[in-house]
Structures are given as C-alpha cells and as structure tokens.
Amino acid sequence: MHFIRTLIVGIFISNYSYGQLQTYSFEEVDSLRNKEAKPTLIFLETSWCKYCKQMKNTTLQNEDVLRLLNTGFYFIRFDAEQEEEAQFMGRTFKFNSSGNGTGVHELAEELGTIDGKLNYPSTIILNEKNEIVFQYSGLIKQTEFRKSLEALLSEKAE
C-alpha cells in the first residue's frame, strides 16, 4: 500500500512540475550555464500584443511544450519595452526611449530583429555558445512549436 501511495504522489509531482513554465532572467542563465549547458529560449513580448497573449495562453500552456521547455531549455520571458537594464554575456543592455513614454530595449532589438524589423511575439533560441539557432516572428501554434523544439533537441543530442 505504501508503494502505491508513493507511486501516485510521484506521478502527481512529476505532472505538476510541468504544469508551470520555469522562467529565468538573463543574469540567471549566464550563471546556470556554468553548471548545465542547455539552449536558451527567449520569448519577446509586449503588454499590448494580442498575439503574445494568445501564445502565452495556448502554446506555452500545452503540456508537451511545457515538458520540453522545462527539461531541455532555459526559458526567458522578456518584455521588449521594459525600462530596466539587463545584463547578458558580460554586457549591459538598456531601454532606448523614442519619446512619449515609448521605446524598445536594446536586448530585444539585438535578439529579435529579423530582416531589419522587430515584431511581437518573437521567439529566439540560442545555443550553448549564445549563437542564434532559431528566430521566428509571430504566433507559433502548439504542434508546430513542439515539433521545432523536438527537432532542436534531437540535433543537440546527435
């Protein structure tokens, strides 16, 4: 009986751990990489972006996607319009104001600009050397995202 209770608790804890996305800051990832090398996935968003909210409420809530993100990646959710400085790769990145209380963060521009444009949401994956290996602008559906994550992890394993 004790074995069955332990098994049920273990299954519950294991399922629960994937129920919430583990998020990190750029600073945390810099130090965590010294202990365990994993790719970093950055989700660039803004507070006003309806597609960002849709992706957070669908794709980033999918059980398979959560499992892949929590086990295979360091996940960073980054507001591209935040005014706080960010430390990453030994550099300090700042908010660039464009006036009237608007602007964009230097780090968002550096990582998320595709063909000279920065759109939201943007999903960027950096390998262990902080090189961009995946960059996508726009909403990514659950199935497509899961397949992309699996492909990246299988390439890494080879």
Which has the closest alpha carbon to 156: 114, 126, 122?
126
Q: Are 118 and 108 in contact (CB under 8 A)?
A: yes
pLDDT tens-digit readout, 78-132: 999 999 999 998 899 999 999 887 899 999 999 999 999 999 999 999 999 999 9
Q: Are 132 and 124 in contact (CB under 8 A)?
A: yes
Domains of the chain: 23-157 (3.40.30.10)
Average per-residue pLDDT for the chain: 88
Residue 136 backbone phi and psi in degrees, to 5: -145, 135
Residue 93 CA to residue 95 CA, distance in Å, equals: 7
- DSSP assignment, residue 105? E
Q: What is the mean pLDDT of residues 41-68?
A: 97
Task: Evaluate if residue 28 carries a pLDDT over 50.
Answer: yes
- Alpha-carbon torsion 28, 134, 69, 95, what sign? positive
Amino acid at 137: S
What pTM was computed for the model?
0.85
**Structure-token match 């993100």, residue found:** 69
